[in-house]
A and B are shown apart, each in its own frame.
Chain A
Amino acid sequence: MIQICLNCLLLSALLLLISIGLNIIYGISRVVNLAHGSLYALGAYFGYSMVSYGVNFYAALLLAPLLAGLCGVVLERLIIEPIRHRDMTYTLILTYGLSVFIDGMFKFIWSDKVQFIQMPSSLRGTLNLFGVHYPNYRLFVLAATVCVILGLLALLEKTKLGMIMRAASTIPEMVSALGVNMKLVHMGVFGLGCVLAGIGGVIAGPLLSVYPMMGSEMLLSCFVVLVIGGLGSLRGAILASLLVGTAQTLGFVFLTDFAMVIVYLMMAVILLFMPKGLLAEGKFD
């Protein structure tokens, strides 16, 4: 029972880590970034390369996401910023193309093989929790996710930067009329989203393996989380990840064949009665 609960939490944590960046980018900059999955994969690949060259796993967990974030910033400046003021369809098509391009680049640089990021030996083995053995690494993933989310909340709630980000999600024009360079905000937010995706990638690496399509495969689940939780709502994303992660895990335990059906059914029902998701779009909180 404890094991099943932890399993639910773990899947929720992974979904949350990856979808949260997507959510922040949409919430603040109103960009639906279809390349987000690819940036998650990019973080995983950076992490994989670092760890296989002997970099400490924890150092890679810090550095690889930053590198992914840097790539995100460059992409934002070069590709998204010039078409920001056009219709959303442009960014959709462009970021989709970008994801295809990045996924293709993985093949060139890292080949099409399925790889694993080597787990640090300190996180191998299992921990006895009230008579149930649970893998240390999974517990680490849970703890790390909680830290990341708390850190993010602190950034958003306690700092001037967070204040600006929250304000920018509602009335961006007024934020620039207060002397803030919105271009920098958009760039920073995109970078932050990519850092979060990168953290997800490195953390998932030892568990879910690393391969070129890993991001694009994950993107669909992220959008389910986003749509259920309400586009651009941080609390909604947390709630929705828990819902989707739990429904999927329990589904596999008790209903096996219908687990995925349940998730999509849940999405359909929620959209039918709450078309904007559980916590509706609007201000980013």
Chain B
Amino acid sequence: MRKGLAVCISVLLVLTMMPLRPAVAADPIKIGVVVTLTGMAAQLGIDNRNGILLAAKHKGTILGRPIQIITEDDEGQSETGIRKAEKLVFKDKVVALSGVTVANVGQAIAGEADRLNVPFLTTNVMTPKFYGLHPLVFRCGQVADDQMTVAQVMGILKDPDLMKRSWYVLADDYAWGHSCAEEFIKLATEKGIKIKNPTYDNAALNLVDWSPFVSKIISAEVGGVYACLRSPVAPRFVQQAADFGLMEKVKIIGGTPSEAALEAAGESVVGLIGTCCWTWDIDTPKSKAFAEAYWKEFKEVPPSQGAQAYTGAFVLFNAIEKAGGTDPKKIAEALKGATFEGPYGEVRISPKDNCMRTPVKVVVAERAPKNPFGAKIIKKVVASLTPEEVGPAE
């Protein structure tokens, strides 16, 4: 019996270790994609990867050469991320790195930029530390934390009902949550928004039961909650808050969860306010085309993170084309100031700090109208912000 099991496990192991070798024509342009496919952030990683794969499919070829995307899972760990990046660059000989789902991995890989010596364009890392970090390091697709905070504050300012309310601030207890909450409190106070707890509450990362915070919010008698919670965690908080009937009295603003997370949480997230670059609610031909193509390819509700990664990857492909080859310096040169008309309008990489300027939408989760994706929840656009409004200034 044990022998049989051992054989089964060995076979499984061998199968999983076998590299996938798609039949590719000679001499493709190889792009390395590091994303988180394990753990809580996995959904974002999957959306990112899918967006990049779709961009490669739509782009077809660069300089007449096929595009080969090689994906690696960083498991959300910096060490693993560096190892995978090294493997992609030194063994697979990729000409550029892209993707990266979580900030710690992004910073770790960016820290090795000199040694890796290929352009690294992240499609999802949000830390402001990426502004002007390294000549070879870029951000395009996802906005930065500071841009998101500005957009959220603008969202409140643009809605008189939200402006009237006083806000309770709740943050994940780690560096990102802290800076996110502090930035919001600083900016909101400047703009005259009432903050109930300027010292804000930290929620432990492994918190499963949010009721203590829900009770605190109820007894604080506030009109709104600003929640700096990681995308996979936010629906759990919102769901539990909804159980307590909080959503009827209180508006919650936070980083919007992925489409998949909203679908999983269902009805209870209705009313959650957030910001994003793209949602399938955006009614432009390019947006519609992307949504349909994504649905056709992956049979999943087209996600914000997918569209963002799609945009970022396209900018990278175009830059390689413009550089006329795979020389890292030339690609980096081509990326500076590059523009792209994508699913959510024109994005541009600032030559000043290598990071994207983009229009941003303020969205509210609502019950979806009948739609081809079978989605129950839609991120409904309630306000559009221009790249100038979101910043940062150049």
Contact = CB atoms under 8 A, between A and B. Distances in A.
Indicate whether A and B are direct neighbours in the complex (CB within 8 Å): yes
B287 interface: no
B273 to A, nearest CB: 20
Given A213-B40, A252-B213, A218 B232 contact: no
Contact of A7 (B42, B208, B212): B212
Interface residues of B, number: 38
A189 to B, nearest CB: 21
Nearest to B208: A208
B37 interface: yes
Given A82-B2, A213-B39, A114 B212 contact: no
Interface string A108-134: 000011111010000011100000011
B116 to A, nearest CB: 27
A137 B46 CA distance: 32
Contacts, number: 105
A113 B208 contact: no
A218 to B, nearest CB: 7
A114 B215 contact: no
Interface string B182-211: 000000000000000000011110111101
A209 B240 CA distance: 10
A211 interface: yes
Contacts of A138: 211, 243
Listed residue (B212, B213, B244) with the most chain A CB atoms within 10 angstroms of its CB: B212
B209 A114 contact: no
The CB with the most chain B CB atoms within 10 A, among A78, A133, A135, is that of A135
A16 B305 CA distance: 38
Interface in B237-273: 239-240, 243-245, 260-261, 264-266
Contacts of A115: 264
Interface string A223-240: 000000000000000000
B239 A112 contact: no
A10 B209 CA distance: 9
Contacts of A211: 40, 232
A14 interface: yes
B173 A114 contact: no
A207 interface: yes
A159 B37 CA distance: 48
B358 interface: no
22 contacts: A3-B215, A4-B212, A11-B209, A78-B5, A79-B5, A112-B38, A112-B39, A112-B46, A113-B42, A114-B236, A114-B261, A115-B264, A116-B264, A133-B245, A208-B208, A217-B206, A217-B208, A250-B212, A253-B215, A256-B202, A257-B173, A259-B204
A116 B239 contact: yes
Given A7-B215, A115-B264, A209-B264, 6 more contacts: A7-B212, A82-B2, A138-B211, A217-B206, A220-B206, A249-B212
A67 interface: no
Contacts of A4: 212, 215
A106 to B, nearest CB: 11
B211 A114 contact: no
Contacts of A6: 211
Nearest to A136: B243
Nearest to B240: A207
A114 B208 contact: no
B37 A209 contact: no
Closest 4 CB pairs of A and B: A112-B42, A252-B212, A135-B243, A7-B211
A260 interface: yes
Contacts of A78: 1-2, 5
B39 A256 contact: no
Contacts of B239: 116, 207, 209
